[in-house]
Amino acid sequence: MKTQVFISGGGIGGLTLALKLVQRNVEVVMAERLKAKAPTYKGELLQPKSLQIFEGLGLYDEITARSNEIKVLDMLELSSSLQVRDQTFMDYSVLPGKFNAAFMVHHEELKDILLKAASEYKNFHYMSGTSCTGYTENTALLKAGKEKLEVEAEFFFGAEGRASVTRKHMEVDIKQTAYNHHFLTVSFPRPETFTDGQIISTYNRFLGLFPLPDNQVRSVYLIPEGDYKELKEKPISHFHKLYTDLAPAMDGYVQQLTDWKKIQLMIPVMFHAPSYVRDNKAIIGDAAHAVHPMAGEGMNMAIQDADILGELTADMIENHKKNPENLKWYEKVRYKRADHVIQLSHLAALAYSYPFKPVSFLRQKTFERMEEDPILHFKQMLNVSGLGMWKENVRDRFIQGGIIPVRLRDLPKKSKELRYYTREDDYPWKDEGLI
């Protein structure tokens, strides 16, 4: 079989990349290892930049109609007696323009929307139950059951996740950072009135609640590394109490979970591949970088990778500028952005990693000052949203540390918009040219 682009892996990132390409008349073959839907009930937090990308693909209305809008993340710090000691907010409305909210969507539903949209194009060829086992220079080696297949292509893109065959073939080595904690994650019914996100913590506990549509809520609960086995041996009522202690509003709802098997263990890791591109091959998403799940950025980074790589590859093919050297533009645009998000997520993880009261106090004061200082609040939301990048400076650090007072002046709308990525920032080769 011959094609222009071969994509290994049919997750959210791979499907976004495929859709972007087929909409530009590029021939795409995609191999997806899984035959059926994953049995796990995952929810995803779509950040504003991802929604901007989906609008460009003509899917914004369909996706948001099947999602739960989150305007505010409510952050509660509880005392040892589990009373609310402090409350701060992460407010998306500080972002000017249309994309000023996050949306929670069911993972499989988002996948279905993307797959259905791509399947409407005759130049999209989807092979389910098929895994990529390796490559030669211009051929992908595939396996479907006992059958072996080959696909010839001009470009090969790996979107297979952390254990990427494409990355291995490219001889790109990664160094993983592990953490001293794991997460329990599960979805269950929620009160109808619970529609904004909530992060609840004490000096030694953490619970994140992210409302999905259909009156469901996605939850993440932090546990010390190695505690999972011992926890599973306890009755499910013990798990219920962990939640209702911190979030009394979930009493009567979390109890509808009656089986430990529905609760997944999530082991956070961090890595950033030293390069994304080699010859006519590139990697996106979890194949290229793993980010701590605290900030809910992993899938958003994959979507943003797909947007840049898809636009670039389509331009290369359309303009007959197929020199693989051009793929370096993708890395040039995405590497610094991804690195910034990885570091921010890592810092957020460290803020919740140590079960000591002084750490809890510092965390609480930092979040308070971030909310009280309009410029710090905007910087935080801009960086989380993916719409732009504005790094913190020494003055910001002094404000967070309480060394100097918070600024009370907000930025005008135009000044905020100047911090957004422009078309030239996202796609610089359109002005600078391809070779």
Instruction: List C-alpha distances in Å: 15 to 58, 87, 98, 147, 281.
Output: 14, 39, 24, 24, 17
Q: What is the pLDDT of residue 395?
A: 85
Burial (CB count <10 Å: 0-12, 13-18, 19+), residue 229: exposed
Under CATH, what is the fold of the domain 5-66+102-177+269-343?
FAD/NAD(P)-binding domain (3.50.50)
Non-local (6+) Cβ contacts of 390 within 8 A are 378, 379, 382, 383, 419
The answer to whether residues 374 and 411 touch, using CB atoms and an 8 Å cutoff, is yes
Query: Which residue do the tokens 């949209």 mark?
Result: 117
In this structure, of 168-172, 326-330, 401-405, 412-416, the range with the lowest mean pLDDT score is 401-405
Averaged pLDDT for residues 4-23: 99
Instruction: List C-alpha distances in Å: 419 to 303, 358, 376, 411.
Output: 21, 35, 13, 11
Q: Is the alpha carbon torsion for 404, 410, 413, 415 positive or negative? A: negative
In this structure, of 283-292, 390-399, 404-413, 417-426, the range with the lowest mean pLDDT score is 390-399
Q: What is the pLDDT of residue 64?
A: 98
pLDDT above 70 (res 359)? no
Helices assigned H by DSSP within 207-356: 228-232, 236-246, 298-318, 328-351
The answer to whether residues 209 and 250 touch, using CB atoms and an 8 Å cutoff, is yes
pLDDT above 80 (res 347)? yes
Question: C-alpha angle with apex 213: 212 to 218, nearest 5 degrees?
Answer: 15
The answer to whether residues 246 and 269 touch, using CB atoms and an 8 Å cutoff, is no
pLDDT above 90 (res 294)? no
Render pLDDT for 87-146 as a digit per residue (tens, 0 to 9).
999 999 999 999 999 999 999 999 999 999 999 999 999 999 999 999 988 999 999 999
Burial (CB count <10 Å: 0-12, 13-18, 19+), residue 171: exposed
Q: Give the residue, 81 or 30, on which the prediction is more confident.
A: 30
pLDDT above 90 (res 188)? yes
The answer to whether residues 42 and 58 touch, using CB atoms and an 8 Å cutoff, is no
Q: What is the pLDDT of residue 137?
A: 81
Non-local (6+) Cβ contacts of 31 within 8 A are 6, 7, 8, 9, 10, 127, 130, 131, 132, 140, 142, 151
Local confidence band at 286 (pLDDT 50, 70, 90 cut-offs): very high
Q: What is the pLDDT of residue 127?
A: 98
Q: What is the pLDDT of residue 211?
A: 97
Where are the chain's structural domains?
Answer: 5-66+102-177+269-343, 180-266
Asked whether this chain's domains 5-66+102-177+269-343 and 180-266 adopt the same fold, the reply is no
In this structure, of 210-214, 358-362, 369-373, the range with the lowest mean pLDDT score is 358-362
Q: What is the pLDDT of residue 363?
A: 67
pLDDT above 80 (res 237)? yes
Under CATH, what is the fold of the domain 180-266?
D-Amino Acid Oxidase; Chain A, domain 2 (3.30.9)
Averaged pLDDT for residues 300-320: 99
The helix (H) or strand (E) run that includes residue 294 is none
Local confidence band at 360 (pLDDT 50, 70, 90 cut-offs): low
Non-local (6+) Cβ contacts of 412 within 8 A are none
Q: What is the pLDDT of residue 358?
A: 66
Averaged pLDDT for residues 266-281: 97
Q: What is the pLDDT of residue 356?
A: 64
pTM for the model:
0.95
In this structure, of 30-39, 149-158, 231-240, 297-306, the range with the lowest mean pLDDT score is 30-39
Query: What CA–CA distance (Å, rounded) separates 420 from 288?
Result: 24
Render pLDDT for 213-229 as a digit per residue (tens, 0 to 9).
999 999 999 999 999 99
Averaged pLDDT for residues 60-89: 94
Local confidence band at 362 (pLDDT 50, 70, 90 cut-offs): low
Averaged pLDDT for residues 248-267: 96
Query: What CA–CA distance (Å, rounded) separates 305 from 285?
Result: 7
| β partners of residue 264 | 185
Averaged pLDDT for residues 145-162: 98
The answer to whether residues 406 and 372 touch, using CB atoms and an 8 Å cutoff, is yes
Best CA proximity match to 305, nearest among 381, 386, 385:
386
Letter string b/e over residues 34-68, b meaning 16 or more CB atoms within 10 A of that residue's CB: eeeeeeebbbbbbbbbbbbbbeebebbeebbebbb
The helix (H) or strand (E) run that includes residue 426 is helix 423-426
Local confidence band at 41 (pLDDT 50, 70, 90 cut-offs): low
The helix (H) or strand (E) run that includes residue 66 is none
| β partners of residue 103 | 46, 69
Q: What is the pLDDT of residue 40?
A: 63
Tokens coding 49: 């930049």
Strands 5-8 and 155-158: parallel
Tokens coding 241: 């109490």
Query: What CA–CA distance (Å, rounded) separates 19 from 424?
Result: 22
Q: Give the residue, 301 or 393, on which the prediction is more confident.
A: 301
The answer to whether residues 104 and 212 touch, using CB atoms and an 8 Å cutoff, is yes
Render pLDDT for 326-338 as a digit per residue (tens, 0 to 9).
999 999 999 999 9
Averaged pLDDT for residues 348-357: 75
Query: What CA–CA distance (Å, rounded) separates 301 from 309?
Result: 12
